[in-house]
Amino acid sequence: MQIATWNVNSIRSRQQHVLDWLAKNPVDVLCLQETKVIDQDFPLEPFINAGYHGYISGQKSYNGVAIFSRQLLEDISYGFADIIGSEKTEDLDDQKRVISGVYNGVRIVNLYVPNGSSPDSEKYLYKLRWLALLKTYLSHIKTSNIPEFCVCGDFNIALEDRDIHDPVGRENHIMATPIERAALQDILSIGLQDTFRKFTAETGHYSWWDYRTRGFSRNRGWRIDHLYLTPQLYQQAQNCWIDREPRTWEKPSDHTPVIVEIAP
């Protein structure tokens, strides 16, 4: 089984990119983030014609997540509340950032973690609240009748210095502050492992490059798109890689796909 994650930075702007990529890379499950479109305007039909079932949770101009799968998903949930109840979510489901479903006995959790803007902003505090609730959400999933799961998406956090082209001063930079990293490590402590690092240890491998300052051509990137697996799935993982090719296309997303292959 192959599962891919990709922040497309507007599905209507990148629809053909995604379809072209799927034609060359017919993964079993594709998780998209930052779709930036309300559900009724999502261009579903081309993906259905390409052989995929689509599950979407979007909002106008911002955020938005979607899952495309070769087979029908089971037990689909939208937001945090479907799993942990609305009384615990407060305002954290207002933005469409979470969707999950079960594929061949594995729960796929697709996330678009808030960026946080800057460490001195209200958005940063929102991000930390969101991450704390994410741990509660994933802890509930861990104790469900489907304990094996994949958590993927745009985490907007570079977990280690080797995930940044130049980590000097990163402790004051959004997506790499010690508090953000500690929050993500706390989430992973429930039993999730970074699948990309099972196969690739060195620096220089990134999934996001700023549009400004010729980030991609100079490979001045960050690895902030992740695939985390529970222990059994981690053992079954055969490969995990970043596909840089779509970032070379005309008018690309600033992110590129990350893919994991899991043995039966």
pLDDT digits 0-9 by tens, 74-112: 999 999 999 999 999 999 999 999 999 999 999 999 999
Mean pLDDT to the nearest integer, 146-157: 96
Tell me the domains of the chain and their CATH numbers: 2-262 (3.60.10.10)
Q: Looking up tokens 């490590």, which residue turns up?
A: 185
Per-residue model confidence as pLDDT tens digits over 200-219: 999 999 999 999 888 999 99
Catalytic residues: 112, 154
Dist CA 17 CA 247 (whole Å)? 10
Residue 213's pLDDT is 82
pLDDT band at 147 (very low <50, low <70, confident <90, very high): confident
Whole-prediction pTM value? Answer: 0.98
Residue 256's pLDDT is 98
pLDDT band at 136 (very low <50, low <70, confident <90, very high): very high
Determine how many CB atoms are found less than 10 A away from the CB of residue 113. Answer: 23
CA 18, 19, 20, 23 torsion-angle sign: positive
